Structure formats: C-alpha cells, structure tokens
Amino acid sequence: MTLRSTLVVSTALAALAGTASAQSMQIGITQNNVGVDSYQTTYEQAFIAAAEANDDVETVVLDAGGDVARQIAQMEDLIQQEVDAIIIWPTNGEAVIPAVRKASQAGIPVIVTNSNIAEQGFDFVASFSGPDNITQGARSAEIMCDRFKAQGIDGEAQIVQISGQPGYTTAIERAQGFEERLPEVCPDVTLMETQPGDWNREKSQQVMEAFLVKYDDIDGVYAGDDNMGVGALNAAKAAGRAGDITFVGATNFAVGYEAMAAGEYWGSIYQSPVDDAEAALQTAIDVLNGEDVPFLNYFDTPKITQDNMDEFTKPVF
C-alpha cells in the first residue's frame, strides 16, 4: 500500500513538475482483483518492480477489486490525469468497452493485459498482451500424447477433461485448443467426458471422484489449471488409482510443481505472472515508442514436464 501511494504521489509530483520529466512516460494500470489469488498478487509485485527498474517509466497502479464499476471509474481517473498509456486487466470483457473507447478517443492508447476484451471493442485497443490459451490447450494435448506414446498406450488410451469455470474465455479457449489438437497428434486416444471444476481444487476433486466411479479405466486427466489438476490427483490417490493416470494441467502452480517433483503429476504449461506483467509493461512502452506491435502480442508459455522441470524455477504462487 505504501509503495502504491508513493507511486501515485510521485506521479502527481512528476505531472506538476511538467517539463522537468518530459522524457518519462506515464503509464496507468487498472488491474482486475489483486489479492484474490496468488497469480494476480505476484503480477502486481512484478509489474511495480519492472516499472521501478525502468527510469523512463512512471506508473499509476490501481486495482478494481473485481468491481466493474470501480474499474470504469479508474479508467476515467486515468483519462483525467492524462497518462500516456493505459493498461487494463478487464474485470469483464464486455462492460469495460465504453471506458476503453473513451480512453482511445481521448488519444490514450489502451493495452489489454492477461484476458482480452470482447471483439467489438478491438477497434479501441492498441494491443493485447497475454498468454495464448488456445496454444496452451494444444501444448497440453501434445504433452499428454507424447507421454502415451512413451508408455505405448497411444492406441487405446482413454482420458477425461476437467475444465475451468463455464463461460470464461480462458476456460473455453484452453478446452478448444486441447480438443482440436489431441485428435491431430493422437487420433486413437478417446476423450470420454468433460466436466467443469470451476478453477476450484475441491470442486475438481469431487468431479474426479465421480469420474473414478463411472469409468473403470482412465489413463489421463487434462485439467484447465494445476489447482484443479492437483484436486483430481488427490481424488485418484484416495482411490488408489493415481499410479495408472497421467495428469496434465496448465498454469503451473507451486502445488503442481511439487507434485511433479514427487513424480505424481506429469506435466503442465509454465505461465509466469512475472512474464505476464513484464510483457504488458513492455508492450505499453513499445506502443508509446511508436514501434510496430502486433495486435495479439502473446508471451511464450512453454511446456513443463517431469523431464524438463529443472529448467524452471518453482512458481511462487
């Protein structure tokens, strides 16, 4: 909090000083809901650290607390303060579009971070910086398939999927990427059923318990993130069937990393909130410098499995 208010004050002072800091860029960010999960908490810390390390950048760091109305008000504040660019982590892909349009019409480039806004708002967005969830889903399918090939069961394996919260873009895109890629790489693997785990470990554990009752033979589980993947793993362990199942997730969490180290969980997608935050800031800087930035500016989210996990540091969230 102190850091944040210091930044706000220093930005205000810089604005007063006027020409003295004419060279520096003022970038405002309004985040979705810091503190609700470790990813967003780490993101904010990384964003502030990256901005401090760059002398040309002054930031105004705001958080909407998950509230659409507050985020729209923050957008208006940032427009009033005449910042040079605004980064927004949308609380809602539809509802923030008018505020984004307002900023764009005021001549302030808007960078959307982490989760994109709805398509009808694309005209008002300078660039989207974030993970490519369709590719993440596809990569998870490849991890699963490679594992089955190594085990020699790619001709008969049967899997289930536990997806994220129904209706969320990230959940839909990861499932889509996975379901499209799997038949391409492993045409004989059967996806028996998909049920949502709502990004919730406990819910996912219940879903997996039902799957274990329903299906006598499960070779693999794909979960929309590691939190749910570990929930599924817990259920399988309790039923004494974890050893037969390949667990693959996405967004590698510390619990997923530890389960991999313990040899219980096979693989995931490494998505670092630090990379996410740094990519957002860099995209904003590039836009302000007039560089040619792609509209969908994805940062890389590599595959991580038990085989190559040494190359990655354990996630802090």
CB of 156 to other proteins, least distance (A): 21
Q: Does the footprint of other proteins cover residue 35 (CB under 8 A)?
A: yes
As a whole number of angstroms, the distance between CA 139 and CA 103 comes to 36
Q: Does the footprint of other proteins cover residue 109 (CB under 8 A)?
A: no
CB of 298 to other proteins, least distance (A): 26
Q: Does the footprint of other proteins cover residue 34 (CB under 8 A)?
A: yes
CA 214 vs CA 89, 120, 155, 195, 207: distances in Å: 40, 42, 22, 13, 11
Among 109, 137, 231, 267, binds other proteins (CB under 8 A): 231
Residue 119 · residue 160 · CB < 8 Å: no
Among 210, 300, 302, 313, binds other proteins (CB under 8 A): 210
CB of 209 to other proteins, least distance (A): 4
Backbone angles phi, psi at 33, to 5 degrees: -160, 80
Q: Does the footprint of other proteins cover residue 229 (CB under 8 A)?
A: no
Q: Does the footprint of other proteins cover residue 254 (CB under 8 A)?
A: yes
Cβ–Cβ contacts within 10 Å for residue 300, how many?
Answer: 12
As a whole number of angstroms, the distance between CA 115 and CA 91 comes to 9
Residue 137 · residue 174 · CB < 8 Å: yes
As a whole number of angstroms, the distance between CA 169 and CA 129 comes to 15
Q: Does the footprint of other proteins cover residue 67 (CB under 8 A)?
A: no
Q: Which of residues 77 and 209 has its CB atom nearest to other proteins in the complex?
A: 209
Q: How far apart are the first and last CA of the chain?
A: 20
Q: Does the footprint of other proteins cover residue 307 (CB under 8 A)?
A: no
Q: Which of residues 137 and 196 has its CB atom nearest to other proteins in the complex?
A: 196
**Both tokens assigned to 114:** 């982490």
3-class DSSP state of 19: helix
Among 9, 13, 20, 36, binds other proteins (CB under 8 A): 36
Give the interface segment with other proteins, choosing from 102-110, 121-129, 144-152, 200-208 (CB under 8 A).
200-208
Among 151, 214, 217, 314, binds other proteins (CB under 8 A): 214
CA 273 vs CA 43, 114, 253: distances in Å: 5, 9, 11
CB of 225 to other proteins, least distance (A): 11
CB of 32 to other proteins, least distance (A): 12
**Both tokens assigned to 41:** 């908490």
Give the interface segment with other proteins, choosing from 35-43, 74-82, 243-251, 278-286 (CB under 8 A).
35-43
CB of 113 to other proteins, least distance (A): 18
Phi-psi label, residue 27: left if phi above 0, alpha if psi -120 to 50, beta otherwise: beta
H/E element holding 291? none
CB of 200 to other proteins, least distance (A): 7
Partners of residue 127 on adjacent β-strands:
111
Among 213, 263, 291, 292, binds other proteins (CB under 8 A): 213
Among 193, 275, 286, 307, binds other proteins (CB under 8 A): 193
Residues 151-180 binding other proteins (CB under 8 A) are 166
Cβ–Cβ contacts within 10 Å for residue 260, how many?
Answer: 24
**Both tokens assigned to 13:** 């002072």
Q: Does the footprint of other proteins cover residue 98 (CB under 8 A)?
A: no
The DSSP code for 222 is: E
Q: Between 38-52 and 2-17, two packed helices, what is the crossing angle to 10 degrees? A: 40
Binding site for other proteins (CB under 8 A): 34-38, 40-41, 166, 193-196, 200-202, 205-207, 209-211, 213-214, 227, 230-231, 234, 238-239, 253-255, 258, 317
